[in-house]
């Protein structure tokens, strides 16, 4: 799966440096625009002033320009309300320069001579932070719905899913939605229904895996009073409830074989007979089924009927796992925070966002939602730190050998991500041990590290380290 395009602007007066940076980014799906003249810089500032600087995801800004001061440009961008993450590029590696840049609102700073494989990781992280900041800054929509609000994200996977939904929504064919648990298969099914000619008729969901085998016939087809113990009144069943609309059969792979045969007959003949009833009723229902199971393998194992699979799988819609579309994380985080945080939306620190990007999300969007609920409950103030996330996510880089990146090699982690994780692990371990030695004194720890106190506090903040934990 290709990565989403990152749109980057480089403000740099030296052509040789610009060419070198362009070569580094060319292979990573980064679209780079080079600005070097005073007029071009003024135009960039003017666009920020109008609030339409969304053409760029990241700004790479040289600290020392012939006619402009990079820090002043940064302050101007922030003062005019620009949400674009700015990475300062400098030839000066002193802590004072770094501190000045970070105080002025830079996302990160990098020394030009030291740009290495982590450069693209910083650019990607900055792009994600830009996306999240912009999403959180957009007023919440009131009423209505659109596909971009339902199928969130700008990754190729999200774009392909929206395109496929638009293509098939107007038809009447049955659809099979496949994907891992927690990916949002029901959201895709509801979007198909909403865009279909059946939108003004019912959308009726049924989880086939949550109903005891003895009751699923009644749930599907209905029953008449007295047909079995507990049938104290007539029941229509979901086929009748969905008549004229859409019936969503979730986890269809968990349906017992005997029930599969009766479901097949209902689909083939367009009629259902209630349990204990004598009269069949005609129904007009579009079926959207969903499963996390490989139904072809289930057919081969004798656990699912091949003829039913053919009836259901007229069109297959695949919802990709979250780990395959990490560029959608900022948009998803913003949507979920709006859903659960109330009127005051918290900020998400770069370190917390990086922790969420590094996590593989086996439970997909459902797990992301639970993680953010955990963070909202644990946070202090209006900021989400790594420590506020569940330990498996926010605490993935832990003190001690054997934790961290080497333990993840078996997961197929790319080299650049492994190097970045290892660097973060080393930095966090170093800070933890230093704070322990300094007994929680930030000033003493900063002196031992040879780092400016303000910059040292930034490092503690980045890793979610609370100095008070180490005080004796």
Q: pLDDT (tens digit, 9 = 90+) per residue, 160-216?
A: 999 999 999 999 999 999 999 999 999 999 999 999 999 999 999 999 887 877 788
Q: Which CATH class is domain 156-322?
A: alpha beta
297 pLDDT more than 80: yes
d(CA 19, CA 117): 17
Tokens of 95: 């802590």
pLDDT for the residue 167: 95
- Give the CATH number of domain 6-137; options: 3.30.2320.80, 3.65.10.10, 3.20.20.150, 3.40.50.2300: 3.40.50.2300
Question: Quick one: how many helices (H) and strands (E) in the chain?
Answer: 20, 14
Give the global pTM: 0.70
- More reliable by pLDDT, 100 or 87: 87
* C-alpha dist (Å) from residue 48 to 44, 78, 289, 416: 6, 9, 47, 32
Q: Contact at 8 Å (CB) between 44 and 62?
A: no
d(CA 214, CA 457): 62
389 pLDDT more than 50: yes
pLDDT > 90 in the chain, percent: 35
* C-alpha dist (Å) from residue 333 to 7, 49, 131, 441: 21, 27, 10, 34
Length of the chain: 472
The continuous run of DSSP H or E covering 85 comes out as strand 85-90
92 pLDDT more than 80: no
pLDDT band of 53, cuts 50, 70, 90: low
- More reliable by pLDDT, 48 or 303: 303
Largest Cα separation within the chain, whole Å, is 89
- Give the CATH number of domain 325-470; options: 3.30.110.30, 1.10.8.60, 3.40.50.720, 1.10.12.10: 1.10.8.60
d(CA 126, CA 323): 18
pLDDT band of 41, cuts 50, 70, 90: confident
Question: Do 156-322 and 6-137 have the same topology in CATH?
Answer: yes
Per the DSSP assignment, residues forming a β-bridge with 288 are: 175, 248
Q: Where are the domains of the chain?
A: 6-137, 156-322, 325-470
d(CA 89, CA 101): 10
pLDDT for the residue 219: 84
């Amino acid at each position: 799966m290709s990565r989403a395009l990152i749109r980057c602007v480089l403000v740099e007066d030296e052509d040789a440096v610009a060419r070198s940076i362009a070569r580094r980014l060319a292979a990573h799906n980064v679209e780079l625009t080079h600005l070097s003249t005073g007029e071009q810089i003024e135009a960039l500032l003017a666009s920020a002033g109008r609030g339409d600087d969304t053409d760029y995801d990241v700004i790479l800004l040289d600290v020392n320009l012939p006619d402009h001061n990079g820090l002043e440009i940064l302050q101007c961008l922030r003062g005019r309300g620009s949400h674009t993450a700015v990475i300062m590029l400098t030839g000066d590696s002193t802590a004072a320069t770094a501190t000045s840049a970070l105080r002025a609102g830079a996302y990160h700073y990098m020394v030009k001579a030291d740009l290495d494989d982590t450069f693209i990781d910083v650019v990607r992280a900055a792009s994600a932070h830009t996306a999240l900041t912009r999403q959180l800054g957009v007023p919440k929509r009131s009423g209505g719905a659109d596909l971009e609000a339902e199928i969130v994200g700008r990754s190729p996977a999200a774009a392909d899913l929206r395109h496929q939904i638009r293509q098939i929504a107007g038809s009447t064919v049955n659809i099979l939605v496949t994907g891992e648990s927690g990916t949002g298969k029901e959201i895709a099914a509801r979007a198909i229904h909403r865009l279909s000619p059946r939108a003004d008729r019912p959308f009726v969901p049924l989880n086939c895996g949550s109903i005891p085998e003895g009751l699923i016939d009644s749930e599907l087809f209905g029953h008449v009073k007295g047909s079995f113990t507990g049938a104290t009144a007539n029941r229509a069943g979901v086929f009748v409830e969905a008549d004229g609309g859409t019936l969503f059969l979730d986890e269809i792979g968990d349906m017992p074989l005997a029930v599969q045969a009766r479901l097949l007959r209902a689909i083939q003949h367009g009629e259902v007979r209630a349990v204990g009833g004598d009269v069949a009723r005609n129904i007009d229902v579009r079926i959207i089924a969903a499963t996390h199971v490989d139904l072809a393998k289930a057919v081969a194992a004798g656990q699912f009927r091949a003829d039913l699979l053919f009836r259901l799988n007229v069109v297959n819609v695949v919802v990709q796992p979250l780990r395959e579309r990490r560029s959608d994380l900022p948009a998803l985080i913003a949507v979920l925070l709006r859903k659960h945080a109330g009127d005051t939306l918290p900020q998400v620190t770069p370190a917390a966002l990086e922790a969420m990007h590094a996590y593989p999300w086996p439970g997909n969007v459902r797990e992301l939602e639970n993680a953010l609920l955990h963070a909202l409950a644990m946070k202090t103030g209006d900021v989400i730190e790594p420590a506020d996330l569940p330990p498996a996510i926010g605490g993935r880089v832990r003190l001690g050998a054997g934790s961290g990146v080497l333990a993840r090699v078996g997961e197929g982690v790319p080299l650049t991500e492994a190097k970045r994780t290892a660097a973060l692990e080393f930095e966090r371990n170093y800070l933890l041990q230093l704070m322990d030695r300094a007994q929680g004194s930030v000033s003493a720890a900063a002196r031992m590290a040879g780092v400016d106190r303000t910059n040292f506090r930034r490092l503690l903040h980045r890793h979610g380290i609370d100095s008070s934990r180490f005080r004796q």
